[in-house]
Amino acid sequence: MDKHPRANLEKKAGLGKRFAARFLDGFLIAIVFGILFFVIGGVGGAASGESNAAVAGLAGAYLFMLIGFPFVYFLYHTIMEAMYGYTLGKHALGLVIADESGGGITWVDSIVRNVFRLIGFFFSPFSALLAVILIAVNDDEQRLGDMAGSTIVVEQA
User: Is the distance from CB of 96 to CB of 83 less than 8 angstroms?
Assistant: no
| Rounded CA separation 102/35 (Å) | 38
Q: For residue 65, what pLDDT band results from cuts at 50, 70 and 90?
A: confident
Tell me the H-state helices in the chain. Answer: 14-48, 53-84, 88-92, 107-122, 124-137, 144-149
Those residues whose C-beta lies under 8 Å from the C-beta of residue 33, and which sit 6 or more positions away, are 65, 68, 69, 72
Give the mean pLDDT of the chain: 87
1 or 70: which leads in pLDDT: 70
Give pLDDT, residue 56: 66
Query: What pTM value is reported for the model?
Result: 0.82
Q: Which residues on neighbouring strands pair with residue 12, listed in sequence order?
A: 154
pLDDT in tens, 68-91: 888 888 999 999 999 999 999 999
Mapped onto helix, strand or coil, the DSSP state of residue 25 is helix
Does residue 116 register a pLDDT over 70?
Answer: yes
* Nearest to 77, CA basis, from 105, 37, 104, 117: 117
| Rounded CA separation 82/84 (Å) | 6
| Rounded CA separation 119/16 (Å) | 23
Does residue 156 register a pLDDT over 80?
Answer: yes
Give pLDDT, residue 51: 61
Give pLDDT, residue 37: 73
Q: pLDDT > 70: what percent of the chain?
A: 87
Mapped onto helix, strand or coil, the DSSP state of residue 141 is coil
